[in-house]
Amino acid sequence: MKIAIFAARSTQRHYANKLSEYLRHMGATETQVFWYKLLWRTPYWIPTLLTKPKGSFLEVVKDFLKVKRNTPAGLIAGGKRFYALFPLKLLEAKILYSVYRNALHKQSITHMVIWNGLKFRQRIAVMAARDLGIPCYFIERGVFPGTTTMDPQGINFLNTIPRDPLFYMQQTSDTDPCPKLKCQELRPSQLPEHYIFVPFQVNTDSQVVMFSPWISDMFDLVKKFQQAHQTLGLQMPSIVFKPHPACEQDYSELAQSLNKDDSPLKIISDIPTPVLIQHAEAVCTINSSVGMESLLMGKKLIVLGNAFYDIQGIALSAANQETLCQKLLEFSNWTPNNILRHRFLQHLKAHHIVPGSWHDPDGQHMDSMSNRILHYIGAAN
Mean of the per-residue pLDDT values of the chain: 93
pLDDT band at 238 (very low <50, low <70, confident <90, very high): very high
If you classify domain 2-160+353-380 with CATH, what class do you get? alpha beta
pLDDT at 374 (0 to 100): 94
Sheet hosting strand 265-267, strand order edge to edge: 265-267, 239-242, 196-199, 282-285, 300-303, 316-317
pLDDT at 295: 97
Return d(Cα 179, Cα 162) in angstroms, integer.
18
Whether residue 6 is predicted with pLDDT greater than 90 in this model: the reply is yes
Which SS3 state, helix, strand or coil, does residue 150 take?
A: strand
Chain segment 323-379, per-residue pLDDT in tens:
999 999 999 999 999 999 999 999 999 899 999 999 899 999 999 999 999 999 986
Burial class (CB within 10 angstroms; exposed 0-12, middle 13-18, buried 19+) of 51: middle
Q: Name 111's bridge partners.
A: 3
Specify the pLDDT at position 149: 95
Q: How confident is the model at residue 366, as a pLDDT?
A: 96
The Cα–Cα gap between 241 and 232 comes to 18
At position 349, the amino acid (one-letter code) is K
User: Per-residue confidence at 175, pLDDT binned at 50, 70, 90?
Assistant: low
Give the residue among 285, 289, 220 at the shortest CA–CA distance from 66: 220
Q: How far is CA 103 from CA 13, 90, 115, 135, in A?
A: 17, 20, 18, 15
Q: Which residues of 8-31 are buried (b: 16+ CB within 10 A; e: fewer)?
A: beeebbebbebbbebbeeeebeeb
DSSP state of 312: B
Say how many C-beta atoms besides its own lie within 10 A of residue 191's C-beta: 18
pLDDT at position 174: 66
pLDDT at 135: 97
pLDDT tens digits, residue range 125-137? 999 999 999 999 9
pLDDT in tens, 76-88: 887 667 778 899 9
CATH 3.40.50.2000 domain extents, the chain? 165-347
What confidence score (pLDDT) does residue 381 get?
62
Helix spans in 186-320 (H): 206-209, 218-232, 252-259, 273-279, 289-296
Q: Residue 179 — very low, low, confident or very high, per pLDDT cuts 50/70/90? A: confident
Residue 379 pLDDT: 66
What pLDDT score does 380 carry?
62
Q: Residue 70: is it exposed, middle or buried by C-beta count within 10 angstroms (0-12/13-18/19+)?
A: buried
What is the structure's pLDDT at 79? 63
Q: Rounded to 5 degrees, what are φ and ψ at 243?
A: -60, 150
pLDDT of residue 50: 76
Q: What is the DSSP string of 68-130?
A: HHTSHHHHHHTTGGGTTHHHHHHHHHHHHHHHHHHHHHHTT--EEEEE-S-SHHHHHHHHHHH
More confident residue, 39 or 228: 228
- Rg (C-alpha) for the chain, rounded Å, is 22
147-151 sheet: strands from edge to edge: 30-35, 2-7, 111-115, 136-141, 147-151, 353-355
CA distance 236 to 255: 19
pLDDT digits (tens, 9 = 90+) for 24-75: 998 777 999 999 999 887 777 887 787 888 888 999 999 999 999 999 988 8
Report the alpha-carbon distance of residue 104 to residue 4 in Å, rounded.
8
Q: What is the pLDDT of residues 93-151, one digit of tens each?
A: 999 999 999 999 999 999 999 999 999 999 999 999 999 999 999 999 999 989 999 99
Give the right CATH number for 165-347 from 3.40.50.2000, 3.40.50.720, 3.30.450.20, 3.40.50.10470. Answer: 3.40.50.2000
Arithmetic mean of pLDDT, 266-283: 97
